[in-house]
């Protein structure tokens, strides 16, 4: 099959994804998940392989929804996987541009996949650019070129064309419900003490949707200022305040923009105003909550808890059509055996090898946890196993887990909800 036909086929619509309910296995008290892909013996290539028969050789990151229930992910930093709604998986190995050594983030659109690429450590290759995987399977520049010198404010103002725009460091990308690219641009500072803008490309033109540049000669924010800035006053216009610290980006099926700051998840809704969906400056208890009830149970009020954003795993927040949110924090399965069992997976519909990968991933203590925020502002622990995750339009959670010893991954699904006994 030619690469053009292959990638074009991957852009076609798929049927709805099957996901289990959030019931525990009555025999083991483990949390039931459905296998989507992995644990098999056949390595995917240009031709699709059935999910349960597929061997996924490496770590999966940057899971993102595609069209109609499909899932995209990065495999071992330099390849892309596509899993159809039926679980058929295809592996793409596009040639990276000279100087690029890894794919750090992706944003699937209807006719292309936007990519963030990085060079070797210390090399600023592609930091200010967004690339595109075309339907021909080629990687091409899409938007942005490096700005000259240290950018202390947007190098390219709103209203200018994005394709040749000098930009600061682009740190995250997403695609909205109208197939428009949305991205985070770091315009001052570096590392943790940065100032960011969230910008959108509309008909090829740059528009800022959140954040404002700092005053000239303003000092870089301290860590304390970064954390306090995570909690703007309710209904604050999104472009009236600076966005301090690293920001992870998500866009809902309805077009709402999610901003995951160091201590909160903010929603940019109607009227371009910010509201806090998760986290509090004096919140308690700290997420994730570990109780004898297990996953998706024992809920808390989302805007009253302490939330710390997991920036190490680079997992962007995601939102379902009903307003439910999946976000990443830090955590591992509890050590007490009677409680721990309720936080482990019972993998349904897969091989014994798939279950072994899930068990190994739980034992390897990645310090990764996912929390689910319901439309009613209740928050529960969704997973303590995995490296990447996302939430599909219909509320299906998709999580990837990795076994270091065998260098294999699996992808599982479950229905994200708050248990009725919470």
Question: In this prediction, what percent of the chain has a pLDDT beyond 90?
Answer: 72
Joined together, the tokens standing for residue 225 give: 């200022």
How many residues in total does the chain contain? 422
Among the residue ranges 142-151, 185-194, 265-274, 354-363, the one predicted with the least confidence is 142-151
Give the global pTM. 0.91
pLDDT, tens digit, for every residue of 190-244?
777 899 999 999 999 999 999 998 877 778 888 889 999 999 998 899 999 999 9
- Cα separation of the two ends of the chain: 50
Which residues, at least 6 apart from 160, have a Cβ–Cβ distance to it below 8 Å?
205, 206
- C-alpha closest to that of 421 among 292, 312, 308: 292
Residue 8 clears pLDDT 70, i.e. is over it: no
Instruction: Name the pairing type of β-strands 89-92 and 145-146.
Output: unpaired
* DSSP code, position 391: E
Reported as a single tens digit per residue, the pLDDT across 365-404 is 789 999 999 999 999 999 999 989 999 999 999 999 999 9
The closest alpha carbon to 364, from 407, 416, 397, belongs to 407
Query: pLDDT-derived band of residue 269, with 50, 70 and 90 as boundaries?
Result: confident
Distance between CA atoms of residues 186 and 20, nearest Å: 39
CA dihedral 401, 406, 408, 414 (to 10 degrees): -30
DSSP label of 134: -
Across 149-153, 186-190, 408-412, the highest mean pLDDT is recorded for 408-412
Read off the pLDDT of residues 393-404 as tens digits, 9 standing for 90 and up: 999 999 999 999
In this predicted model, which residue has the larger pLDDT, 326 or 7?
Answer: 326
- In whole angstroms, what is the distance from residue 48 CA to residue 39 CA? 15
What confidence tens digit (pLDDT) does each residue in 31-48 have? 999 999 999 999 988 789
What residue spans define the domains of the chain? 3-415
For 3-415, which CATH class? mainly beta
pLDDT, tens digit (0-9, with 9 covering 90-100), for 43-98? 988 789 999 999 999 999 999 999 888 999 999 999 999 999 888 999 999 999 98
Residues 218, 222: Cα–Cα separation, whole Å: 12
* Share above pLDDT 70 across residues of the chain, in percent, rounded to a whole number: 91
d(CA 241, CA 229): 9
What confidence score (pLDDT) does residue 151 get?
53
Which of 262, 249, 252 lies closest to 222, judged by CA? 262
Instruction: Flag whether pLDDT at 100 surpasses 80.
Output: yes
The predicted structure's pLDDT at residue 12: 36
pLDDT digits (tens, 9 = 90+) for 110-119: 999 999 999 8
Q: Indicate the range of 12-21, 116-125, 141-150, 177-186 predicted with least confidence.
A: 12-21
What value, to the nearest 5°, has the Cα angle with vertex 85 and ends 14 and 393? 85
What average pLDDT is seen over the chain?
A: 89
**Distance of alpha carbon 405 from alpha carbon 364, whole angstroms:** 10
E strand residue ranges, 120-262: 130-133, 139-143, 145-146, 166-167, 169-175, 181-190, 193-202, 205-210, 236-237, 243-244, 248-251, 257-260
Q: What value does the mean pLDDT take over residues 15-32?
A: 55
Residue 226, φ and ψ in degrees, nearest 5:
-60, -45
* pLDDT score, position 21: 39
């Amino acid at each position: 099959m030619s690469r053009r036909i292959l990638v074009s086929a991957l852009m076609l619509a798929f049927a709805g994804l099957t996901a289990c309910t959030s019931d525990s296995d009555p025999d083991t008290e483990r949390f039931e998940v459905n296998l989507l892909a992995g644990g098999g013996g056949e390595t995917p290539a240009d031709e699709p392989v059935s999910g349960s028969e597929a061997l996924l050789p490496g770590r999966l990151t940057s899971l993102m929804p595609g069209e109609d229930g499909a899932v995209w992910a990065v495999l071992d930093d330099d390849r892309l996987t596509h899993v159809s709604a039926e679980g058929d998986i295809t592996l793409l190995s596009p040639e990276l541009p000279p100087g690029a050594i890894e794919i750090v983030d992706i944003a699937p659109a209807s006719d292309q996949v936007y990519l963030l690429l990085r060079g070797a450590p210390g090399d600023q290759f592609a930091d200010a650019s967004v690339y595109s995987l075309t339907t021909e399977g080629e990687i091409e520049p899409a938007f942005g070129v490096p700005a000259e010198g240290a950018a202390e404010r947007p190098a390219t103002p709103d209203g200018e064309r994005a394709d040749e725009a000098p930009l600061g460091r682009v740190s995250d990308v997403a695609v909205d419900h109208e197939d428009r690219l949305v991205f985070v641009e770091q315009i001052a500072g570096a590392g943790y003490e940065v100032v960011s803008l969230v910008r959108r490309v509309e008909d090829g033109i740059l528009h800022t949707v959140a954040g404002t540049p700092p005053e000239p000669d303003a000092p870089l924010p301290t860590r304390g200022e970064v954390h306090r800035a995570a909690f703007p006053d309710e209904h604050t216009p999104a472009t009236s305040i600076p966005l301090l610290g690293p920001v992870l980006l998500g866009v809902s099926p309805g077009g709402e923009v999610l901003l995951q700051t160091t201590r909160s998840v903010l929603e940019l809704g109607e009227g371009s105003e910010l509201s806090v969906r998760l986290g509090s400056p004096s919140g308690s208890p700290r997420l994730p909550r570990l109780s004898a009830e297990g996953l998706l149970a024992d809920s808390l009020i989302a805007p009253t808890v302490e939330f710390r954003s997991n920036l190490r795993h680079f997992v962007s927040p995601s939102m379902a059509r009903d307003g439910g949110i999946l976000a990443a924090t830090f955590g591992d399965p509890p050590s007490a055996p009677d409680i721990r069992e309720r936080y482990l997976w019972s993998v349904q519909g897969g091989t014994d090898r798939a279950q072994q990968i899930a068990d190994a991933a739980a034992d390897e203590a990645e310090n990764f946890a996912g929390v689910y925020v319901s439309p009613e502002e209740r928050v529960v622990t969704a997973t303590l196993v995995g490296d990447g995750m996302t939430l599909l339009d219909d509320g299906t959670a998709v999580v990837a887990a990795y076994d270091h010893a065998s260098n294999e991954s699996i992808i599982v699904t479950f229905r994200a909800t708050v248990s009725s006994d919470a």
